């Protein structure tokens, strides 16, 4: 079996999703996106995992979308197979139940920055560069660089990158709140893991609920988050048990509002 392009593993309460295409600086193509989606599904279902780190193998975090993968696509395929599918995978990351931390040990440009933005937190090494250079080759950010990034960092910061072509070093990105912590080269993973372990010490259900509520306030989620929170509350009540038991016994339920 060929080695997986994206893997999930756990170390205690910490889940680790690793992009494994170092020869391409972990650039994303369709097989990589599929593998990432599968790894995120594993992370979601991993019992006891309370924080998830996203990192890239080798010298890069993620070089963004592989131009060779989309450059020859028809307009229709580019829209559906590339942009819409990429959005689905990035939304999957943004809506993971556990808090997520992007480990930026290498540059995060274009789709790579969009991937990092889909995480809750970002830890960057001092040498790392961040930006949205897409317009320099005649395309636009397609995986939420003009949407989620604007919600999280503000329109003017995104304008500077997407329209003005500015590329920020980690220290400048920290001042603009694009990243949350900056560490010396070689320390991002250790810093992110230590942070994840601190998060894992907190109440897991409260943490997941808080993440959902923040997502609603931010516009990341609305209908699904509202129904998830309400359903989770109902699942803890005696009314649910009474209703299920009555259904199995083919009787009318007696609800106690307990």
Catalytic residue set: 114, 134
**Strand-pair category, 181-183 with 121-125:** parallel
End-to-end CA distance of the chain: 52
User: What is the distance between the alpha carbons of residues 138 and 134, in angstroms, rounded to a whole number?
Assistant: 7
Q: Token pair of 142, please?
A: 């397609």
Q: Which long-range contacts (CB under 8 A, 24 or more apart) does 156-159 make?
A: 158/132
Closest C-alpha to 32, from 41, 20, 40: 20
DSSP assignment, residue 62? Answer: B
Other CB atoms within 10 A of residue 209 CB: 17
Task: Please tell me the chain's helix, strand, coil percentages from 3-state DSSP, rounded to the nearest 5.
Answer: 50, 15, 35
């Amino acid at each position: 079996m060929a080695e997986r392009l994206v893997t999930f593993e756990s170390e205690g309460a910490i889940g680790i999703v690793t992009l494994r295409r170092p020869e391409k600086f972990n650039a994303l193509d369709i097989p990589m996106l599929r593998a990432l989606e599968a790894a995120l599904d594993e992370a979601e279902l991993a019992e006891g995992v309370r924080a998830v780190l996203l990192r890239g193998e080798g010298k890069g975090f993620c070089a963004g979308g592989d131009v060779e993968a989309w450059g020859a696509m028809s307009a229709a395929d580019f829209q559906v197979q590339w942009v819409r599918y990429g959005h689905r995978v990035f939304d999957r990351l943004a809506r993971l139940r556990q808090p997520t931390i992007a480990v930026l040990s290498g540059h995060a440009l274009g789709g790579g920055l969009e991937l990092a933005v889909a995480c809750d937190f970002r830890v960057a090494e001092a040498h790392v560069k961040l930006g949205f250079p897409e317009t320099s080759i005649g395309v636009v950010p397609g995986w939420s660089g003009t949407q989620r990034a604007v919600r999280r960092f503000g329109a003017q910061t995104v304008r500077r990158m997407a329209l003005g072509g500015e590329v920020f070093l980690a220290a400048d990105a920290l001042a603009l709140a694009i990243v949350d912590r900056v560490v010396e080269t070689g320390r991002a993973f250790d810093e992110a893991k230590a942070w994840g372990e601190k998060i894992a010490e907190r109440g897991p259900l409260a943490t997941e609920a808080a993440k959902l509520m923040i997502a609603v306030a931010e516009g990341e989620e609305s209908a699904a988050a509202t129904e998830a929170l309400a359903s989770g509350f109902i699942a803890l009540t005696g009314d649910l048990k009474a209703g299920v038991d009555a259904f199995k016994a083919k009787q009318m339920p007696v609800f106690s509002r307990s």
